[in-house]
Structure formats: C-alpha cells, structure tokens
Amino acid sequence: MSKLRVVAAIAVGCLVAAMPPTASQAQVKHAARAPSRTYDGLWSVSILTQAGPCNASYRYPARIIAGQVMQADNDFSYRISGAVVASGAILVTVTQGGQSATGYGRLRGSSGGGRWSAGGNQCYGTWSALRRAAY
C-alpha cells in the first residue's frame, strides 16, 4: 500500500491537526468512557482529496466494533484506530511508517461524512461512509 494511499485513508477518515478541537472531536475523546454499539458493522468509506499531492480519491473498508474503528481487511502494513460515540461523532487516525492522517465527522444511521487531513495539512479533503453490514 502506498504512503499517500495510507495518508489519505481514513479514513473512516483523517485529522486536521492544526484546527482547534470541535464539539465532535471533544465528544469522541469521551468514547473510551461511553462506548456505543449503535454504529457497529462493516462500512465502505470514500475519500476525496480537495488539495495536496494525494490521489484524487480512495475507497476503503472499515469495521466498527463496540464503538472502536479498525481496518476491515488483512493488510497490517498500516494501522487504523479511532472511536465513535452514541451521538455519531467519530475521530479516526491512520498511521504507517511514521506518517499519519486523521479524519473527523459524524455518522447518522447507515451513512456519514466529515473532513480529513494529513502531513500538517499537506493533503486534505472530505470523506463519506455507507454501512454495508451491521452486527
């Protein structure tokens, strides 16, 4: 998997490190204390790059179990970690080889979306997700 692919992965999404925390980000930090199974399942995530040298678009599978976001495939050359709370607020970080990208946003029912960035905003854009299967 290429470095730019992982950097843009979302990921469920990727992070805006230079931005102050939003209400959604603050809610997600609470996830360890308030896990939710509301959004558990297999998700298909589409990532669109708005600016930067990352590829224009990506599509990845993600899995949510007990409110914890993780990769849904067996490619362990990268790591996805994150959480979603009952309100749907979500925060995800993808790392590979010292590089990271982070996404934040909100899930509602069987869909969701938000923003992502990587490399100190070298690349950034939006993401959307659709639930493919619930547990």
Residues 50-87 have pLDDT tens digits of 999 887 887 888 999 999 999 998 888 778 889 999 99
Number of domains in the chain: 1
In a domain? residue 120: yes
Residues 55-64 have pLDDT tens digits of 788 788 899 9
In a domain? residue 15: yes
Domain around 112: 3-130
Distance, in Å, from the CA atom of 46 to the CA atom of 31, rounded to the nearest integer, reads 24
In a domain? residue 92: yes
CATH of residue 86's domain is 2.40.128.120
In a domain? residue 43: yes
Q: Can you give the pTM of this predicted structure?
A: 0.72
List of long-range contacts for 29-33, beta carbons under 8 Å, 24+ apart: 29/91, 30/85, 31/67, 31/83, 31/84, 31/85, 31/91, 32/83
In a domain? residue 135: no
